[in-house]
């Protein structure tokens, strides 16, 4: 399902633990890391797609998580021209995403990266909230920053932006 502007509707999932660290998954067979995400099917609401993708990519079900919130509107990113499949119709130039913030309320033993016949991830770890913005593939960075910025106050309160500044300052060579 590609919209008239060439964007595929998609959901992104930021899953945190009680320590406000986030799930960071390594793409199967690659040395790249990302949040769980996936396409929205025809006649599927974004929240339904989110729970389906959560289960497919992590093995977690709705009872293992608490929905904290989601981003407003669609966040978009364009694919690099080398990744655009020009022979496909309609041509997909990127993704438009709704991002969801979830908290793990179940046990980590509920994770199962191989619950899907074609696993998305082959490893995962908990990382500090802002690290993915710096480590994700370059063409997704702006979307990650927007999603993390919008959702930070739901996790950190009004101090969400201050947490970012403190995190960046701690990494500074002058700190």
On whether the CB atoms of residues 42 and 118 are closer than 8 A, the answer is no
**116, burial (CB in 10 Å: exposed 0-12, middle 13-18, buried 19+):** middle
On whether the CB atoms of residues 128 and 21 are closer than 8 A, the answer is yes
- pLDDT tens-digit profile of 35-53? 999 999 999 999 999 999 9
Across the chain, what does the average pLDDT equal? 89
Q: What is the pLDDT of residue 17?
A: 98
Model confidence at 33: pLDDT above 90:
yes
On whether the CB atoms of residues 64 and 104 are closer than 8 A, the answer is yes
d(CA 33, CA 123): 9
Confidence of residue 159 (pLDDT cuts 50, 70, 90): low
Domains and CATH numbers, the chain: 7-171 (3.90.79.10)
Q: What is the pTM of this model?
A: 0.88
Confidence of residue 87 (pLDDT cuts 50, 70, 90): confident
- pLDDT tens-digit profile of 61-76? 999 999 999 999 999 9
């Amino acid at each position: 399902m590609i919209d008239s502007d060439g964007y595929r509707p998609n959901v992104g999932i930021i899953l945190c633990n009680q320590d406000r660290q986030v799930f960071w998954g390594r793409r199967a067979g690659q040395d790249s890391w990302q949040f769980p995400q996936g396409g929205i099917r025809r006649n599927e609401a974004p929240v339904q797609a989110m729970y389906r993708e959560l289960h497919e990519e992590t093995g977690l079900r709705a009872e293992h998580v608490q929905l904290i919130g989601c981003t407003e509107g669609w966040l978009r990113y364009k694919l690099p021209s080398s990744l655009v499949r020009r022979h496909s119709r309609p041509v997909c130039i990127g993704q438009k995403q709704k991002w969801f913030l979830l908290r793990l309320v179940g046990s980590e033993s509920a994770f199962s990266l191989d619950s899907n016949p074609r696993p998305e991830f082959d490893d995962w770890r908990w990382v500090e909230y802002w690290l993915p913005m710096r480590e994700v593939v370059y063409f997704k960075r702006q979307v990650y920053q927007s999603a993390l910025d919008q959702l930070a106050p739901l996790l950190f309160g009004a101090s969400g932006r201050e947490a970012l500044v403190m995190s960046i300052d701690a990494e500074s060579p002058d700190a």
